[in-house]
Amino acid sequence: MSYRSHSDLGGRTGIGSVIAGAPEREGEVFHSPWEARALALTLAMGATGEWNIDMSRSARETLPDYPSLSYYQIWIAALERLLAERGLVMPDELAAGHALHASRPVARVLRAAEVGTVLRRGSPTQRTRDDAPRFAPGDVVRTRADPVDHHTRLPGYARGKVGRVACCHGAHVFADGSARGLTEPHWLYTVEFEAEELWGADVPGPGRQVVSIDAWEPYLELA
Amino acid sequence: MLAEFGVRLPEETEIRVWDSTAEVRYLVLAMRPTGTERLGETELAALVTRDSMIGTGLPRAPATEAVGR
């Protein structure tokens, strides 16, 4: 097992409070101007088609120093990594902070005038499949228990747990495959879990607590 | 965790969490505060906060003069 995500923190204890310091004020989007540039650079390079969103998530989540970086520091560190892996930036350029060599052309370039249109259009992930979904709303399912040696969106806290299918969203791009360049889409479901199934009997309060995740069919078996 | 956000709910409140693990995104329809029956859309919108749309806060209470007498 060589693949290790540092971002799968849901349900883990002993890592301090969720809010470090004061929460951001209402309407505060960036802490400083460089964060806006980090967002813009990442979106602009994403638009080139050199990688997809699952590859960029994987690049972020496997950064060895992930736990010590802020949100946009993670974005920039992963962007540098993706660029370097594809030969679009050289180590001496990262050190110098500016271009030193002619770079190879990329397939698509996001022009400033198109940014609004492109962002509004988004990147829909709905696809089609020839077969029918295996599961229907109400089915009781168990999630995959084994860890996998690649990018996944099944949270650690929801591995090997029994839940109920709430709905099927149709076939979607499958993150686990897409991060590895595979293109087969899979049926996507919302699956609900009782808090006791995820966290044990020690759930406070008499009120019911339910956690829903979106899970692709390969994550699930009938329970 | 809600307490870290300064939110305290009655123990019997049912809590539903959506973890957006795929590309489907969710937002919370903020719960209408009591005493707002006579408020219009603009006045109601002013009570909605960021936190009340991501499930870590409740909407603002209406100003007392807006409460029906």
Residue B27, sorted as left (phi over 0), alpha (psi -120 to 50) or beta, turns out to be: beta
Mean pLDDT of A16-20: 80
More confident residue, A183 or A103: A183
Query: pLDDT band for position B68 (50/70/90)?
Result: very low
Task: List the domains of chain A with CATH numbers.
Answer: 33-121 (1.10.472.20), 126-222 (2.30.30.50)
Does the pLDDT of residue A91 top 90, yes or no? yes
CB distance from B3 to chain A under 8 Å?
A: no
Q: How many residues appear in chain B?
A: 69
Taking a C-beta distance cutoff of 8 angstroms, is the pair A5, A176 a contact?
no
Domains held by chain B: number: 1
Does the pLDDT of residue B66 top 60, yes or no? no
Does the pLDDT of residue A105 top 70, yes or no? yes
The sign of the CA dihedral A39, A41, A42, A47 is: positive
3-state SS, one letter per residue, for A154-181: CCHHHCCCEEEEEEEEEEECCHHHHCCC
Q: Which of helix, strand or coil describes residue B23?
A: coil
pTM of the model: 0.93
CA B33, CA A171: separation in Å to the nearest integer?
Answer: 38
Torsion angle in degrees (nearest 10) through CA of A190, A193, A198, A204: 130
* Domain extent for B23: 1-69
| Percent of chain A's residues with pLDDT above 90 | 88
pLDDT, tens only, B8-65? 999 999 999 999 999 999 989 988 999 999 999 999 999 999 999 999 999 999 876 5
Residues of A in contact with B45 (CB under 8 A): none
- The count of other CB atoms within 10 Å of the CB of residue A113 is 7
The pLDDT assigned to B63 comes to: 79
ipTM of the complex: 0.89
The pLDDT assigned to B64 comes to: 61
Using CB atoms, which residue from A27, A204, A212 is nearest to B19?
A212
Mutate to test the interface with B, among A209, A219, A220 (most CBs of B within 10 A): A209
Q: Please tell me the least confidently modeled range out of A15-19, A61-65, A67-71, A93-97.
A: A15-19
Q: Which of helix, strand or coil describes residue A84?
A: helix
Residues of B in contact with A215 (CB under 8 A): 21-22
Contacting residues for A165 by C-beta, under 8 A, at least 6 apart: A135, A136, A137, A138, A139, A140, A141, A189, A190, A191, A220
Question: Are the Cβ atoms of A208 and B15 closer than 8 angstroms?
Answer: yes
CB distance from B25 to chain A under 8 Å?
A: no
Mean pLDDT of A4-21: 87
Question: Are the Cβ atoms of B13 and A172 closer than 8 angstroms?
Answer: no
**Both structure tokens of B29:** 């329809």
CA A176, CA A217: separation in Å to the nearest integer?
Answer: 12
pLDDT, tens only, A121-172? 999 999 999 999 999 999 999 999 999 999 999 999 999 999 999 999 999 9
Taking a C-beta distance cutoff of 8 angstroms, is the pair A143, A161 a contact?
yes
φ, ψ at A33 (rounded to 5°): -60, -30
Q: Which residues of A touch B (CB under 8 A)?
A: 10, 17-19, 23, 26-27, 53, 123, 125, 153-155, 158, 169, 172-173, 175, 188, 190, 204-216
φ, ψ at A220 (rounded to 5°): -120, 150
